[in-house]
Amino acid sequence: MIEIVSMWSGTPAPTVVDIDSYLSKSKTVRTEGRLAAYSGYMAGIAASAIYGGLGVLGKKVAEDSHPMVATGFGFLFGFLLMTLFFGHTFPKNIKNSVKSTYGFLILSGLTTGFGVSSWYMALSLIPVIVVAPVVSAYPLFTIGLSAIFLRNIERITYKTVLGALLVLVGITVVGLGNI
């Protein structure tokens, strides 16, 4: 059983039927049961599959339109989708948000915009089979930045560093094989 629990209140999430009311309270996901250890990996694999398809779709879009137009439309339709599903909970959620995080939220939005724009720009210039593994190097940056800014929150082990180095080797092999 996967149980979604609010990070602050610890209250269990409702069933899928009642997900809207849950989304207005939820801050994180916690799992229980036999598959608990794998649920994060399963979500990651699902995200990888979706982003993998997005890479192919993004290449087609980048060939037919300017990268900034693609970015704008992507954000527009993403905004519309998020508004449709979560818009009614936004005022309540923003009121309950910690005000000290607003700067981080703004910075997150700005970096997302630059990242997506850079991604479409890369897709317009080089093959998607090269862009995808290179963009997949972002965990290396995440690990490095976490070591600097989140050292009291995140623990980086030698296994994490070794895994990151293996990712880097894989990116290099795929990248060099397609040049």
* pLDDT of residue 2 exceeding 60: no
Strand partners, 12: 5
**Mean pLDDT of all residues in the chain?**
77
- Structure confidence by residue, pLDDT tens digits, 128-143: 888 888 887 888 888 8
What are the structure tokens assigned to 118, written together? 């850079």
Given a cut of 60, whether residue 33 has pLDDT beyond it is yes
Tokens 């936004």, residue? Answer: 90
pLDDT value for 3? 39
pLDDT at 128: 86
DSSP-based three-state secondary structure for 66? coil
Give the percent of the chain with pLDDT over 90. Answer: 7
Query: Which residue has better confidence, 2 or 91?
Result: 91
Q: CB-based burial of residue 58 (10 Å sphere; 0-12 exposed, 13-18 middle, 19+ buried)? A: buried
Closest CA to 74 of 90, 58, 63: 58
The amino acid present at 159, given as its one-letter code, is: K
Where do we find the tokens 């910690």?
98
Average pLDDT of span 163-168: 85
Other Cβ atoms within 10 Å of 124 Cβ, number? 18
- pLDDT score, position 24: 44
Q: What is the pTM of this model?
A: 0.64
At residue 136, the pLDDT reads 79
Q: Which residue has the higher pLDDT, 75 or 4?
A: 75
The answer, yes or no, to whether residue 15 has pLDDT greater than 60, is: no
Cross-strand bridge partners of residue 5 = 12
Q: Which token pair is 171?
A: 């990116």
**Could you tell me the pLDDT band of residue 11, with boundaries at 50, 70 and 90?**
very low
Q: Which of 96-100, 142-146, 162-166 has the lowest mean pLDDT?
A: 96-100
